[in-house]
Amino acid sequence: MQAAAKILPDVSDADAFLAWENQQDTRHEWIDGRIVAMTGGTFAHARLIVALAARLYHHLRGTPCTVLTSDFKVQAAQDVFYPDVVVTCDPQDDQDLICKNPKLIIEVLSNSTAQKDRQNKRLAYQQMASLEEYVLVAQEVRHIEVYRRAEQWQRVILIGGAVELRSVDFSLDLDELYI
């Protein structure tokens, strides 16, 4: 027997989407005025998220900055996303459902999301005044793309050596990440 398709509501803006989405058992993003259901990731995807978040957490412990993972939303322009890793140095209330002022956002790429992460999300995130860096991490090969506000959002590609996250004064050797 086939499961019935979920009927998505007709919501008109990000606020209406958030009111609806906060009541759901599953996660959805709001992209270009459309509700997009979230799917699970691969083992490699999950491992990279944990590796990045753990190393950033240890680096930032004792500072005002907090590392959040893909259970926390970010609103960028009129879109709402669940980034893989977010760093914010802005105090968050325990009741907050959205990170309002991210400093660093990291997305781990998958075949199904790479195009959206490089275009839609990147352009929306770059409109956030607090965001200093946006990082894309490939999961199948050693390949990291870094976009920095200080460098007019020009892309830097790394395939070896260390990735430098200037927004949080942190460096990570790619050999440590891709083990």
155: left (phi over 0), alpha (psi -120 to 50) or beta: beta
For the chain, give the percent of residues with pLDDT over 70.
Answer: 93
**Is 41-177 a domain of CATH 4.10.220.20?**
no
* Least confident stretch, 4-8, 37-41, 168-172: 4-8
The residues near 73 (Cβ < 8 Å, ≥ 6 apart) are 18, 80, 81, 82, 97, 98, 99
116-169 confidence digits (pLDDT tens): 899 989 999 999 999 999 999 999 899 999 999 999 999 999 999 999 999 999
This prediction has a pTM of 0.86
Judge whether 73 and 80 are in contact, CB under 8 Å. Answer: yes
70-104 confidence digits (pLDDT tens): 888 999 988 899 999 999 999 876 667 888 899 99
Q: Which residue has the higher pLDDT, 95 or 61?
A: 61
